[in-house]
Structure 1
Amino acid sequence: MSKARLVITAVLVEGRSQSQVARDYGVSQSWISRLIKRYTLEGDAAFQPRSRRPHTSPRRLDQSTIDLIIELRRTLTGKGLDAGPHTIAWHLRHHHRLHVSPASISRHLHAAGLVDPTPQKRPRSSYIRFAAAQPNERWQADFTHWRLANRTDTEILCWLDDCSRLAISVTAHHRVTGPTVVDEFIKAIAQHGIPYSTLTDNGMVFTTRLAGGKGGRNSFEAELHRLGVHQINSTPHHPTTCGKVERFHQTLKRWLTSQPRATTLTELQTQLDTFVDEYNHRRPHRSLPHRATPAVIYTSRPKADPATRIDTHNRVRTDRVDQAGAVTLRVNGRLHHIGIGRHHYRTRVLILAQDHHITVINAATGEVLRDFTLDPTRDYQPTGAPKGPKRKKPQT
């Protein structure tokens, strides 16, 4: 017999007082009063367990926000784009002015049955990552296969910037050959400049180093040598060395799968151009600072080239504007405060330092907030804006 039934029996059948029953059974007298009232109204149903869920949840998301989260999930998935909690949080913040934590988004996606649990998946924290510090410091390249609607095999050649993940060039071909690689590389450098280095696997279109020394350099190696570009090739049987371009292929193919299957090479190239525009300019990238787009990172940092190398005089660091409207930067062992403006409080920024030339950029939008030459004799670097309200000239 449950304690609730014993209490009701003791009070209503045996006629004992509520205070005495409360002492005998170790319960509060107020609980006994509520239980008797409930039994009077409901009978034996009063003994059934009751939900402890609160009547109100002030911090619960609005139903309209929950519906928007589910709609974004289905829309992004339908387009073949990433639709994880962090990506949805980015879209809510930038397109709908809503700040929702990824944990809350994940909870509602699970509740809606839109997430397949994968407990065996390796955690991201276990990966050792490396990335170039400057755009054009390293370009990764590889090609992948894709079939047209009539089952014709094609090959897609991709060039990816290692620092910003910018899709430099994505082109469709019936077959990728050595001359194809050279032609697309020349077109890419005409638009984006000459990179400091390239990173590829050991395919014969990229290198002949595993061909036993026969035939000397191929056309791509000769072009890199002519331009002074440093060539890097992955270790055989280690595809993770070129992991960024391999991961890019997955994203590309997931997007292509959600589109109508192209019937010609020209139609496929049109789809690739559409994807590159979406990927570079509108899709937040989880591996980049503050989920920025590749185009923001690529255009906001100084470019590397064969004539330059990254050294201690070229630095990139992140910071957040403090309550006084400033960020800090240490130059030659001395800490300097750089004025940005109080209206930028809590804004995340990228600080590009080339000797004493400083550029401060909004990390989310790419907007240049300050571009100036640092005065090493001053701790505070003012914005130069006039202080206080403007005084009106006296009328004559």
Structure 2
Amino acid sequence: MAIPITLRKKIADFDPIREGITVQQFCKNIGVSKQTYYNIKARIAERGRAGIVPDSTAPLNPRRVYDDKIRQQVLQARGTLQARGQDCGPWSIFYFFLDELGYDQPPSRALIAQWLHEAGVADINARKRPRKSYRHFARGQVNELWQIDAFAYRLFDVPHTQVTIYQVIDDASRFDVGSQAFGTPENGTDARITLSGAIDAYGLPQEVLSDNGDAFATYHRGRLSQTERWLASLGVQSSAGFAPTTQGKDERSHQTMTKFLDARSPTTLAQVQQLIVDYRNFYNTRRRHQGLLRGKMHITPAQAWEIISHAQPPTQPIDPDVLWTKIAKQYHRIHPDNQADTLAADTVVATDNALPEVAASNRAPGNDTKAIQQDTPHADSSTVMPSSTGVNALWPIPDKLWINKSGVVRVMGHGLYVGLRFKNRAIYSSVTDDYAEFFTDHDGEKLFSFPLPIQLNQRPPGGQININHVVGMWHRQPPELKPNLSGPRPSRREKPS
């Protein structure tokens, strides 16, 4: 609150010796704080009697007033960016004015957002957590981590042909080191071709992050894909996450590329491949990335690639034992004392009670052991799941089963309820003469087991049986016992007449 001139004059003329009262009592009498008193006294000592007059409260940088012409240009810029298939939010429009229209002082991002809202053209988004509450994940050096992911894109031809596009993004600089399109569904061969082209152009990364697709990393499911083996031979580590947010940078770049391609309506694979070349030039060198802030301005991925220091490339291939140890960590140790039955130069056979890490520990030094191939749809990977002993003919239990959406898996004619937390999951079986074990596909750990033949201590009236009723069963997380599972439904209440 501004201090009136009359009070300022009283403060300027006050002398505690002459008045015979303290400064504290004087301030109390006129109703001002001691800090205000000393501030005004300091201004007067510095400026003389002119210090009594307060400074202007007008802002040092007054708000710039824009006419309707600028407002219309903002709306036109949004339309131009949309037609190009580019992002058309407030930041994109701000940099469009700055970089392409040559404005030294374009309207601020907040003002552009206000105009878009008033014009009714801005997308309405639900309120989200403030961005400052998120923990940002980014490596500190270029080539320290690459993210790779693939997505399906439909062409604008009559049959709506679907192609697969692979994108490889450097985590630190957001630089697109290699994007390619193929006419085949997602597979490891095309993924390795994409990575090989990026490596030839920009050198080896230290690590490659992907999802758990069969074309990339499968170690979470107890298998080694050919892509993982190939990267390890180059000394490059491979890792995978369990959620799309782990690859948030790559997932977001899919949206940017899709907009770019949709605006040009490609009808052939060759057109998509050429447009990807144009897209990478635009994305890397012209599009300012909102995740790359230097000072108060955003920069392009190409500028970040030059500014940020580069990590040293790997020089030695990764020891195969390291890969086996990586897989072994995904499994629960069931019988650590048991050993693998057979060891060969090209195969490792894990018995029903032995785990892959046990078999790996018994390999001769220097043996580049590979895992045996299982009857699995993953043709591009080698499985190291606990294998069947070949006696499944005694018990009609397939090597692979499926837990349906109700948490029920059918084993030897029984519908076993194993819990909703495991619904829509594949499991693998390992069967001996008198025992059956089942392992989850997504993490390779043992889920449940029971002796054979299946014996029940209670049979509910319905066809589904809670696994707790199986004699001698073991379950990693036993489901809640439901006595009326699949029993007759209660009759509906009669409506009052």
Deviations along 1:127-160, one digit per CA (max 9) or x if unpaired, are 2211111111110001000112231121111111
What's the offset of the Cα at 1:62? Answer: 3.0
**Residue 208 (structure 1) aligned to one of 207, 211, 218:** 218
Tell me the equivalent position of 1:199: 209
CA distance in 1, matches of 2:83, 2:128: 23
User: Is 1:287 aligned to residue 296 of structure 2?
Assistant: no
What's the offset of the Cα at 1:292? Answer: 0.5
**Residue 194 (structure 2) aligned to one of 177, 181, 184:** 184
Tell me the equivalent position of 1:69: 74
User: Is 1:103 aligned to residue 110 of structure 2?
Assistant: yes
CA distance in 1, matches of 2:308, 2:173: 9
CA distance in 1, matches of 2:261, 2:81: 13
What's the offset of the Cα at 1:307? Answer: 4.2
CA distance in 1, matches of 2:161, 2:98: 42
User: Is 1:163 aligned to residue 172 of structure 2?
Assistant: yes
Q: Relative to 1, partners in 2 of residues 1:116 and 1:180: Cα closer, same or farther, differing over 3 Å?
A: closer
* Conservation of the 8 A alpha-carbon contact between 2:175 and 2:284: yes
What's the offset of the Cα at 1:110? Answer: 1.8
Q: Which one has the largest radius of gyration?
A: 2
CA distance in 2, matches of 1:205, 1:58: 55
Aligned-pair identity in percent equals 35
User: Is 1:173 aligned to residue 177 of structure 2?
Assistant: no
CA distance in 1, matches of 2:163, 2:314: 37
Q: Relative to 1, partners in 2 of residues 1:194 and 1:263: Cα closer, same or farther, differing over 3 Å?
A: same
Tell me the equivalent position of 1:256: 261
CA distance in 2, matches of 1:174, 1:223: 23
The SS at the match of 2:87 is: coil
* Conservation of the 8 A alpha-carbon contact between 2:234 and 2:314: no
Tell me the equivalent position of 2:385: none
Query: Where do 1:1-396 residues align within 5 Å?
Result: 59-95=64-100, 96-99=102-105, 100-148=107-155, 149=157, 150-175=159-184, 176-213=186-223, 217-235=224-242, 238-260=243-265, 262-289=266-293, 290-307=297-314
CA distance in 2, matches of 1:269, 1:119: 36
CA distance in 2, matches of 1:123, 1:174: 40
Deviations along 1:284-317, one digit per CA (max 9) or x if unpaired, are 1111112111111012222113349xxxxxxxxx
Q: Relative to 1, partners in 2 of residues 1:97 and 1:246: Cα closer, same or farther, differing over 3 Å?
A: same
Matched letter for residue 276 of structure 1: R
TM-score between the two structures when normalised by the length of structure 2: 0.47
Deviations along 1:43-78, one digit per CA (max 9) or x if unpaired, are xxxxxxxxxxxxxx9832133322221111111122
Unaligned segments of structure 1, at least 5 residues:
1-56, 309-396
The SS at the match of 2:196 is: helix
CA distance in 2, matches of 1:306, 1:243: 24
* Conservation of the 8 A alpha-carbon contact between 1:143 and 1:155: yes
CA distance in 1, matches of 2:314, 2:190: 26
CA distance in 1, matches of 2:189, 2:181: 14
CA distance in 1, matches of 2:165, 2:240: 20
What's the offset of the Cα at 1:267? Answer: 1.1
* Conservation of the 8 A alpha-carbon contact between 1:230 and 1:306: no
Higher relative contact order (CA 8 A, sep 6+): 1
CA distance in 1, matches of 2:167, 2:220: 22
Q: What RMSD in Å do the two structures reach over aligned CA positions?
A: 2.0
CA distance in 1, matches of 2:206, 2:220: 23
Matched letter for residue 253 of structure 1: T
CA distance in 1, matches of 2:95, 2:70: 14
Matched letter for residue 272 of structure 1: I
Tell me the equivalent position of 2:349: none
Matched letter for residue 248 of structure 1: S
CA distance in 1, matches of 2:152, 2:88: 24
The SS at the match of 1:245 is: helix
Matched letter for residue 240 of structure 2: N
Tell me the equivalent position of 2:417: none
Tell me the equivalent position of 1:323: none
CA distance in 2, matches of 1:288, 1:197: 21
Aligned length: 246
Moved over 6 A (4+): none
The SS at the match of 1:83 is: coil
